[in-house]
Amino acid sequence: MIKEILLCKYGEIVLKGANRKYFEDMLCKEMKKRARGYGNFDIYRAQSTIYIDPKDEDADLDGMFEAASKVFGIVAIARAAVCEKDMAAITETVKSYIPQFMDGKRTFKVEAKRSDKTFALDSMEISREIGGVVLESCPRLRVDVHKPDITVKVEIREFGAYVSAGQFKGAGGMPVGTNGKGLLLLSGGIDSPVAGYMMAKRGVRLDAIHFESFPYTSERAREKVLELASIVAEYSGDIFVHVVSLTHIQEELVKACEEDYFTLLLRRYMMTIAERVAREKECLALITGESLGQVASQTMQALGVTDNAVNMPVFRPCIGMDKEEIVSIARKIGTFETSIQPYEDCCTVFTPKHPKTKPELEKVKAQEDKLDFDALVEEAMGTLYTVHIKAEY
Ligand code: ATP
Ligand code: MG
């Protein structure tokens, strides 16, 4: 009977220095939290690896694999068979475990790693010997050490020997929570969930703010946004979504200001309110899904006018990406299908026909001064309510 286990490897690079133990503990804790839904596992760490070790037959290793592949900070995950640290046991395990992975494969190589230096053979010797075993059990295969279709790994580690074939990419990045908390401006579109995902990948914990404009925007539009938050939360962990109404601000803008400036003015309100909420919730930066030149409000001049409204870093991880690149990430993380559901956003009600693409700050401010900015911000803050999106793994 072969026993399987997951080996989750974290990148050495980001974990150097004094914070290392803190990061490792954080990752281990995260894995334990995610394992809860999949049965009984022992989860422990050694040698830059988190071991996810099923305690009984009922533990769902496939489900756990899926869950582990969404944990930032893990660079690779291998599903491995465990055996005694001796060549006879390793040989037997290779013979019975490895052939199932070889369908459709023509070439392979063996990579051995011996972190337990007391083991009798060195890595070269293990590779050579196990290469022979694989050739014997799968006679169709050839060895190709340069560009193999699949790599068979044998690792002699602290707690045992591990045999695996093929390694899967982890989510990469840094453990969520190791780089502060940011406030994501979350619309129902394609870009902002991707922006949130990307910053979470850099270790940023997320809160989100969503602006609605009821009755111009609908209940369904809000539900869609909460669903997007819930998908991002599979990676980032729980998200508190703060919902603020812009209805009155938009109605006042339409009455008092020149149409060409609507979007810009609205964005300055959004940023100002977002900054207020960020400070209250101890977020150190704002995050948006803006991409340079994508729409009129995302030219350099427009972004300058928007940034001028706040006194806090604004992270725009999509800024240098094409729509296609953003879409491909949205598909990968699972937000795309939800994002393309056709519900209105508050930015799309009262949109100007000829928005300013090269706005001048002074002119924008002159328009802004037609209303009592601070009072409207204050009033909007009064509409805030918070929805706790719990991460479902
Ligand atoms: P997305 O695809 O994320 O909606 P977009 O390309 O449609 O972005 P805009 O609608 O101009 O661009 O919005 C730019 C950014 O402003 C969004 O990525 C998001 O961060 C923020 N934003 C827009 N609308 C809202 C909203 N209703 N609530 C919160 N943030 C918003
Ligand atoms: Mg949008």
Placement of tokens 């994501």 in the chain? 184
Ligand lying nearest the CA atom of residue 295: 1
- Predicted confidence (pLDDT) per residue in 246-281, tens digit: 999 999 999 999 999 999 999 999 999 999 999 999
**Ligand 1 close to Cβ of residue 150 (< 6 A):** no
Q: What is the dihedral of CA 171, 177, 178, 181, to 10 degrees?
A: 120
Shared domain for 329 and 185, answered yes or no, is: yes
CA distance 392 to 211: 24
* Torsion 285-286-291-296 (CA) sign: negative
| Ligand 1 atom closest to residue 246's alpha carbon, by position in its atom list | 27
Judgement on whether residues 21 and 125 belong to the same structural domain of the protein: yes
- Enter the pTM of the model: 0.93
Is residue 242 domain-shared with residue 352, that is, in the same domain? yes
- Taking only the tens place, the pLDDT of each residue in 182-227 is 999 999 999 999 999 999 999 999 999 999 999 999 999 999 999 9
Same domain, 359 and 263: yes
In a domain, 50, yes or no: yes
pLDDT at 17: 73
Buried b (16+ CB within 10 A) or exposed e, 20-33: eeebbebbbebbee
CATH number, residue 117 = 3.30.2130.30
* Domain stop point among 135, 169, 203: 169
For residue 264 the two structure tokens come to 């810009």
Average pLDDT for 230-246: 98
Mean pLDDT of the chain: 94
294 alpha carbon, closest ligand: 1
Domain containing residue 43: 3-169
160 with 239, same domain: the answer is no
Is the CB of 290 inside a 6 Å radius of any atom of ligand 1? yes
81 and 165 share one domain: yes
Handedness of CA 129, 130, 131, 135 (dihedral sign): positive
Considering its fold, how many domains does the chain have in total? 2
Using the 3D structure, point to which of 126, 149, 169 is the last residue of a domain.
Answer: 169
CATH number reported for the structural domain that contains residue 186 in this entry: 3.40.50.620
342 token code pair: 């056709």
pLDDT in tens, 61-116: 999 999 999 999 999 999 999 999 999 999 999 999 999 999 999 999 999 999 88
Residue 175 located in a structural domain: no
Domain boundary among 169, 201, 236: 169
